[in-house]
Amino acid sequence: MNNVFAQIEWSLLTPETTIIAGIVLLLLMDLIFPSSLSRKWFGFIGLASVLGALVFVVGQLPLKSAEILFGTYRLDPMSLVFKLLFLTSTALILLVAMDRKKADRTDRYIAEEYILMLSALLGAMFLASSVDVITLFIGLELLSISSYILVGMRKHERLATEAAWKYVIYGGVSSAFFLYGYSFLYGISGTTNLFTLGQSLSEVVQSTQSDLFIIVGLCLMLVGFAFKISLAPFHMWAPDVYQGASSPVASFLAVVSKAAGILFLIRFLLIGMYPLLRSEVWGENVMWALAILAAVSMIVGNTVALRQQNVKRILAYSGIAQAGYLFIIFPSLQSNLIFVSVVFYLVVYMFMTIGAFAVVHVVSKETGNDELTSFDGLVRRSPGLGIAMTLFLLSLAGIPLTAGFIGKVNLSLNTFASSHMWLLISTLLVTTVISYYYYFRIVQRMFVENATSDQKIPISIFPALTILVVVLGTIGLGIVPDILLSKLEAVKWGYGLIPLEGIQQLKN
2: amino acid identity, one letter: N
pTM flag (> 0.85): yes
pLDDT for position 496: 39
110: amino acid identity, one letter: I
- CA 141/CA 135 separation, integer angstroms: 10
- CA 269/CA 273 separation, integer angstroms: 5
Q: Look at residue 454 and tell me whether its pLDDT is greater than 60.
A: yes
> DSSP labels for 159-183?
HHHHHHHHHHHHHHHHHHHHHHHHH
Please report which confidence band the pLDDT of residue 505 belongs to, taking 50, 70 and 90 as the band edges: very low
Identify how many contiguous H helices and E strands the chain contains and give both numbers.
22, 2
- Residue 279 has phi, psi (to 5 degrees) of -75, 135
Please report which confidence band the pLDDT of residue 503 belongs to, taking 50, 70 and 90 as the band edges: very low
> In this structure, are strands 73-75 and 66-68 parallel, antiparallel, or unpaired?
antiparallel
- CA 394/CA 401 separation, integer angstroms: 9
pLDDT for position 233: 85
> Residue 76 CB: number of other CB atoms within 10 A?
20
34: amino acid identity, one letter: P
- Residue 66 has phi, psi (to 5 degrees) of -145, 145
Please report which confidence band the pLDDT of residue 107 belongs to, taking 50, 70 and 90 as the band edges: low
Alpha helices in 328-382 (DSSP H): 338-367, 378-381
- CA 378/CA 55 separation, integer angstroms: 38
Q: Look at residue 234 and tell me whether its pLDDT is greater than 90.
A: no
SS (H, E, C) 68-101: ECCCCEEECHHHHHHHHHHHHHHHHHHHHHCCCC
Span 316-320, average pLDDT: 91
Residue 412: name the closest of 328, 498, 327, 312 by CA.
328
Residue 466: name the closest of 322, 360, 321 by CA.
360
Query: Any idea which of 108-117, 139-148, 333-342, 496-505 has the lowest mean pLDDT?
Result: 496-505
58: amino acid identity, one letter: V
Cα 424 → chain centroid: 21
Span 15-41, average pLDDT: 84
Sign of CA dihedral 164, 309, 348, 45: negative
Q: Check: CB of residue 338 under 8 Å from CB of residue 414.
A: yes
128: amino acid identity, one letter: A
**Percent of the chain at pLDDT exceeding 90:** 22
- CA 23/CA 121 separation, integer angstroms: 11
> Residue 104 CB: number of other CB atoms within 10 A?
14
Query: How far, in Å, are 193, 302, 453 from residue 429 at the CA level?
Result: 39, 12, 39
pLDDT greater at residue 75 or residue 144: 144
User: pLDDT digit string (tens) for 323-332?
Assistant: 888 887 776 6
Q: Check: CB of residue 446 under 8 Å from CB of residue 378.
A: yes
Q: Check: CB of residue 491 under 8 Å from CB of residue 339.
A: yes
> Residue 253 CB: number of other CB atoms within 10 A?
24
Q: What is the dihedral of CA 475, 477, 480, 485, to 10 degrees?
A: 180
> DSSP labels for 185-229?
HHHHH---BHHHHHHHHHHHTT-STTHHHHHHHHHHHHHHHHHHH
pLDDT for position 313: 92
The residues that bridge with 73 in the sheet, in sequence order, are 68, 130
Q: Which residues contact 335 (CB under 8 A, 6 or more apart)?
A: 329, 341, 414, 417, 418, 496
User: pLDDT digit string (tens) for 343-377?
Assistant: 899 999 999 999 999 999 998 888 888 888 888 88
